[in-house]
């Protein structure tokens, strides 16, 4: 199954909701409640993701992670903690 097809499927909607419940709606980047997006740390198990491969985030945090990941060379994978450590640096550069 391709990513675009999957990300718009009922199966993903259920998995996304499960991840948001599992992490109690807390953004894994800023730590605040109200996460509204779920980031894939890897696509290796796309469609059969393990919970530790999914990271709830606020949309703005997700955008920042995407930017940092691109700055680090793009592509899936990499440590979310390493990426999260760079988010404040990126946010400061935007201001």
Mind giving me the DSSP string for 8-61?
Answer: TSHHHHHHHHHHHHHTTTB-TTT--B---EEEES--TTTTS--GGGEEEE-HHH
Domain with 70, as residue range(s), is: 3-94
- Please report the pLDDT score of residue 92 as a whole number: 58
What's the whole-number mean pLDDT along residues 15-25? 96
What's the whole-number mean pLDDT along residues 66-89? 65
Q: Write out pLDDT tens, residues 28-59.
A: 888 899 999 999 888 899 999 999 999 999 99
Domain count for the chain, please give it. 1
Global pTM reads 0.73
């Amino acid at each position: 199954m391709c990513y675009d097809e999957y990300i718009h499927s009922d199966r993903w909607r259920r998995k996304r909701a499960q991840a948001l419940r599992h992490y109690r709606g807390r953004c894994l980047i800023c730590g605040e409640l109200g996460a509204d997006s779920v980031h894939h740390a890897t696509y290796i198990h796309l469609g059969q993701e393990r919970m530790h491969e999914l990271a709830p985030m606020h949309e703005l945090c997700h955008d920042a992670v995407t930017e940092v990941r691109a700055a680090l060379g793009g592509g899936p994978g990499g440590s979310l903690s390493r990426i999260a450590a760079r988010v404040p640096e990126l946010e400061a550069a935007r201001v």
